Amino acid sequence: MAPRIAITGSSGTGKSTLAEALAARWDVPCIPEGMRKRIRAGLNQHKMSYDDRRALAHELYAEMVGGMRVALESHSGFVSDRSPVDSFAFWLYYGFGVEERETDALFETMRADLEMLDAILVLPWGTIPLIADGVRTPNRWVQLHFQHLVEGLTTRFMPAAQVWRLPEEIRSVEERVVWVELQLRQFEKSSSPLEGKA
């Protein structure tokens, strides 16, 4: 079966670049981050109402998970730029947790959808200089805030063996691809039904 990997981390950590490189390497679909394309198309979320932003959060989640399901049908795998945990982290980050029943439902959906993943790859904060590109804030402290939220949720709700933390010193795309493939081989070996049998 092809790999089913999601990449997480704050903005500017290299998720999109690595996702595209891994998807090309494994010949599987790359599930893009939905918010990025909307901002580049002119969306200004700061001018949206609370209800519109909440609706957008649901829309982005459904789009991402729908892309994963389509990729599983067509290629048996994917690389996703962001994970279901990211979507839940954004939900809490923007204050929607006050909608208790809605949050309960999204949480349960997230937990179920994590079953689609072999692993979540966590990219480190602060290793790549942030650039003011009009898509993300270059304020590293804002990014650190989200990084700790998404890392904490990922650690809490994914099995430890399925959380791959990229070392800070590995920065080039080529080195990152090599490191991820090593983690994948180790994961596949440990998951093999023959592992440990004579």
When comparing pLDDT for 80 and 126, which is higher? 80
**Residue ranges per domain, the chain?**
4-190
Q: What are the tokens at 172?
A: 């080039």
pLDDT value at 152 more than 90? yes
**How do residues 107-122 score in pLDDT, each as one tens digit?**
999 999 999 999 999 9
* Unique residue bearing structure tokens 């650190």: 144
Is the domain 4-190 a CATH 3.40.50.12710 member?
no
Inter-CA distances, 114 with 20, 65, 187, Å: 21, 10, 16
